[in-house]
């Protein structure tokens, strides 16, 4: 039977590094050098201060990233990545090469010191742009580079190479660039829809694919809501990297395992789409909804189990090849001898040198603390003159004719990352169909530009409406609150649709402040940082009116409906300031 120990001991690390590397040399080390990471630290207490500094950098980074893991279900697996990376690091520690004698020349500390100093401006930028993929990537690179510097101090380049994978593995917790993610989602959704519909038809269940919708008889399922495959795909990609390292597979085996993760995740999600479509056609939408999450969980578990089985298969194949990688077996033949391991480097005793002197550790912790204090002080200085935010809520007309409350699609929640979101529709006394959504971001949730990056001219055409242009503005006063709507005109099969959209700042930096409806550039994000502008809370109200014959009628309906829905309660400045601090 294949065991974890047999995989690790059968020339386990020979394929993780170049010939003659420290990975090969570790087999010649005495047993006491193969102790676990925590045991090694306990025996070398001089490591503790340096490890505390390194741990502080990673904890601060993960704290900045965790919002994405909370609000975006595609990256909810990010919570486990730090723990998996720590486990992989501890496994590498058991097979570590000998440490270097002493520290490098003191001048090398210039590099980690520069990285610590660079953390301050990045932290200030990140505070105003917590959802900016680019700055989160740079922050992760900075922290990873600092850890590589510590490894260089302990064992020079061979330590950096030996521990490279666990450190770089943390990058899997980062969100993918929006452009790549959106293109991937759209492509997978189209493929999923077409393949699922054709397969159902071949199985005797006639199905028609129209865009992202599969229709079976009089029922239909929107594949874009959650069944495109991207949710399992990103988790499967992360797990394939973890399992390849867990079994110490060779390069070719790891590449094949990563490729298999895409195939397995996509095929399982096709099965999920087909299952839900059949349930919807046979038993109705309510039954399908009750099974939706259960089927999704089963797909995720099956995907991880399938990848685990494939990784074990590759590990057994490697064991049969005498511990050599699949690539070396294909190029050198199955009977090629395994090269002998080089002798281990000499090192006195079992003492591992501390990565940083005590004085540098104190300096590093002080810089990190100063960065956090300066960031908060920078923005508070610019916010001190702002008025307290009025407290207001939406009182939905639950007893109106035709009132319905629905949920936003998963993809919408992942993109907008809001704290609160509601969407409702009803019929007004004039007979108009009144559709309205309300979205709220708490202070610091995302950058203040996110609310302006998704607007009616982008979203509404996706529902089949044709954009006919802007139609002015509409001001709705409600006590201390003054909501300015931008009006848009759309066409639905020849009938006008009036859309009203407003972005409300809880504490606007100026009376004339306005978020533009467009994607912002990097320079604009930096300019907001220099001006001390961060998101102090935002809300969005979007209204669509069907059936109105003129803009005046639509505006009158908006005024009448909102007059009874907006509930405003002003609060004293001291109370408002306290609530902002707590957020």
The residue range of the domain holding 470 is 392-568
pLDDT tens, residue by residue, 518-571: 567 788 889 889 988 888 889 999 999 999 989 999 999 999 999 889 888 765
Task: List beta partners, residue 439.
Answer: 421, 540
pLDDT of residue 324: 59
Place of tokens 């005797």: 204
- 439: CATH: 3.40.1000
- What does the mean pLDDT of the chain come to? 81
**Both tokens assigned to 558:** 């908006």
Asked if residue 427 is part of any domain, the answer here is: yes
Asked if residue 424 is part of any domain, the answer here is: yes
* Nearest by Cα to 473 from 497, 435, 503, 450: 503
pLDDT tens, residue by residue, 86-114: 999 999 998 888 888 877 888 999 999 99
260 within 8 A of 298, measured Cβ to Cβ: no
pLDDT of residue 492: 87
**Both tokens assigned to 168:** 């770089």
In the predicted structure, residue 23 carries a pLDDT above the cut 70: no
Q: How far apart are CA 308 and CA 324, in angstroms?
A: 20
Q: How many CB atoms lie within 10 A of CB 208?
A: 13
pLDDT of residue 345: 40
pLDDT tens, residue by residue, 313-334: 999 988 887 665 555 555 545 4
Q: How many CB atoms lie within 10 A of CB 211?
A: 13
Question: Residue 137 — very low, low, confident or very high, per pLDDT cuts 50/70/90?
Answer: very high
Asked if residue 573 is part of any domain, the answer here is: no
Q: How far apart are CA 441 and CA 258, in angstroms?
A: 36
Instruction: Assess whether 78 and 156 both reside in one domain.
Output: yes
pLDDT of residue 328: 57
Instruction: Assess whether 405 and 540 both reside in one domain.
Output: yes
* Nearest by Cα to 103 from 269, 337, 352, 298: 352
pLDDT of residue 24: 42
Q: How far apart are CA 129 and CA 132, in angstroms?
A: 5
State whether residue 257 is helix, strand or coil: helix
pLDDT of residue 541: 93
The DSSP secondary structure of 293-309, one letter per residue, reads: HHHHHHHHHHHHHHHHH
**The total number of structural domains that make up the chain:** 3
Note the pTM of the prediction, 2 decimals: 0.77
Instruction: Assess whether 132 and 183 both reside in one domain.
Output: no
| Element (DSSP H or E) covering residue 222 | strand 219-222
pLDDT of residue 347: 40
Task: For helices 285-320 and 230-246, give the axis angle rounded to 10 degrees.
Answer: 20
Asked if residue 371 is part of any domain, the answer here is: yes
* Nearest by Cα to 248 from 180, 311, 195: 311
Q: Which of residues 224 and 415 earns the better pLDDT score? A: 415
Instruction: Assess whether 188 and 162 both reside in one domain.
Output: no
Asked if residue 166 is part of any domain, the answer here is: yes
Task: For helices 251-283 and 178-202, give the axis angle rounded to 10 degrees.
Answer: 60
Q: How far apart are CA 207 and CA 273, in angstroms?
A: 12
**Both tokens assigned to 110:** 């210039």
pLDDT tens, residue by residue, 38-76: 565 556 677 889 999 999 999 999 999 988 888 777 788
Q: Which of residues 20 and 397 earns the better pLDDT score? A: 397
Instruction: Assess whether 294 and 232 both reside in one domain.
Output: yes
Residues 6+ apart with CB under 8 A from 106: none
Instruction: Assess whether 418 and 556 both reside in one domain.
Output: yes
The whole-number average pLDDT for the span 300-312 is: 93
pLDDT tens, residue by residue, 341-398: 444 444 444 578 889 999 999 999 999 999 999 999 999 998 888 878 888 899 999 9
Instruction: Assess whether 449 and 557 both reside in one domain.
Output: yes
Task: List beta partners, residue 492.
Answer: 495
Looking at 309, 325, 341, the residue that finishes a domain is 325
pLDDT tens, residue by residue, 201-246: 998 888 888 777 888 887 777 776 545 556 678 889 999 999 999 9
Instruction: Assess whether 198 and 160 both reside in one domain.
Output: no
Instruction: Assess whether 170 and 202 both reside in one domain.
Output: no
Residues 6+ apart with CB under 8 A from 412: 421
Asked if residue 94 is part of any domain, the answer here is: yes
Looking at 306, 325, 344, the residue that finishes a domain is 325
* Nearest by Cα to 247 from 327, 311, 325, 168: 311
Q: How far apart are CA 569 and CA 440, in angstroms?
A: 17
**Both tokens assigned to 280:** 């919807």
Beta strands (DSSP E) in 449-570 are 466-478, 481-492, 495-505, 538-546, 566-569
Question: Residue 511 — very low, low, confident or very high, per pLDDT cuts 50/70/90?
Answer: very low
Asked if residue 459 is part of any domain, the answer here is: yes
pLDDT of residue 289: 76
pLDDT of residue 1: 38
Q: How far apart are CA 123 and CA 135, in angstroms?
A: 9
Instruction: Assess whether 153 and 195 both reside in one domain.
Output: no
* Nearest by Cα to 85 from 181, 174, 4: 174
| Element (DSSP H or E) covering residue 416 | helix 410-416
Instruction: Assess whether 409 and 550 both reside in one domain.
Output: yes
State whether residue 285 is helix, strand or coil: helix
Instruction: Assess whether 364 and 406 both reside in one domain.
Output: no
Asked if residue 423 is part of any domain, the answer here is: yes
């Amino acid at each position: 039977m294949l065991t974890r120990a047999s995989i690790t001991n059968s020339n386990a690390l020979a394929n993780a590094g170049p010939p003659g590397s420290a990975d090969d040399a570790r087999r010649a080390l005495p047993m006491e050098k193969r102790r676990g990471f925590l045991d090694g630290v306990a025996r070398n207490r001089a490591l503790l201060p340096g490890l505390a500094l390194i741990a502080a950098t990673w904890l601060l980074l993960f704290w900045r990233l965790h919002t994405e893991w909370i609000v975006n279900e595609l990256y909810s697996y990010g919570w486990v990545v730090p723990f998996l990376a720590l486990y992989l690091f501890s496994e590498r520690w058991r097979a570590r090469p000998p440490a270097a004698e002493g520290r490098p020349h003191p001048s090398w500390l210039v590099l980690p010191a520069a990285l610590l100093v660079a953390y301050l401006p990045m932290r200030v930028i990140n505070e105003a742009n917590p959802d900016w993929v680019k700055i989160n990537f740079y922050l992760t690179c900075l922290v990873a580079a600092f850890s590589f510097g510590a490894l260089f101090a302990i064992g020079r380049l061979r330590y950096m190479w030996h521990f490279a994978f666990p450190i770089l593995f943390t990058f899997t917790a980062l969100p993918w660039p929006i452009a790549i993610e959106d293109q991937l989602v759209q492509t997978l959704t189209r493929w999923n829809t077409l393949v699922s519909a054709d397969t159902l038809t071949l199985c005797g269940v006639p199905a028609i694919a129209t865009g992202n919708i599969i229709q079976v008889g009089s029922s239909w399922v929107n594949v874009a809501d959650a069944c495109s495959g991207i949710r399992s795909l990103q988790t499967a990609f992360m797990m394939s990297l973890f399992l390849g390292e867990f079994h110490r597979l060779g390069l070719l085996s790891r590449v094949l395992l990563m490729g298999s993760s895409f195939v397995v995740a996509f095929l399982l999600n096709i099965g999920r789409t087909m299952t839900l479509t059949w349930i919807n056609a046979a038993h109705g939408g309510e039954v399908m909804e009750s099974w939706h999450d259960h089927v999704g969980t089963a797909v995720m578990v099956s995907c991880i189990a399938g990848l685990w089985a494939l990784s074990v298969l590759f590990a057994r194949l490697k064991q049969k090849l005498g511990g050599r990688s699949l690539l070396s077996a294909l190029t050198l033949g199955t009977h090629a001898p395994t090269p002998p391991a080089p002798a281990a480097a000499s090192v006195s005793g079992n003492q591992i040198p501390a990565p940083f002197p005590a004085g540098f550790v104190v300096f590093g912790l002080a810089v990190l603390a100063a960065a956090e204090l300066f960031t908060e002080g920078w923005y508070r200085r610019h916010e001190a003159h702002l008025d307290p935010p009025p407290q207001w809520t939406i009182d939905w007309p639950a007893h109106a004719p035709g009132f319905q409350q629905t949920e936003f699609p998963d993809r919408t929640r992942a993109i907008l990352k809001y704290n609160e979101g509601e969407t409702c529709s009803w019929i007004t006394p004039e007979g108009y169909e009144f559709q309205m959504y309300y979205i709220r971001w708490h202070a610091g949730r995302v950058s203040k530009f996110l609310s302006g990056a998704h607007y009616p001219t982008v979203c509404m055409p996706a529902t089949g409406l044709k954009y006919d242009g802007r139609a002015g503005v509409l001001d709705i006063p409600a006590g201390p609150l003054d909501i300015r709507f931008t009006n848009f005109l759309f066409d639905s099969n020849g009938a006008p649709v009036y859309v009203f959209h407003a972005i409300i700042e809880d504490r606007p930096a100026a009376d004339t402040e306005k978020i533009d409806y467009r994607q912002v550039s990097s320079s604009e994000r930096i300019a907001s940082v220099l001006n001390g502008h961060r998101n102090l809370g935002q809300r969005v109200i979007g209204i669509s009116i069907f059936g109105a014959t003129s803009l005046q009628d639509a505006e009158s309906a908006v005024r009448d409906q909102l007059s009874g829905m907006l509930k405003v309660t002003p609060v004293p400045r001291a109370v408002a300031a306290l609530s902002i601090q707590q957020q």
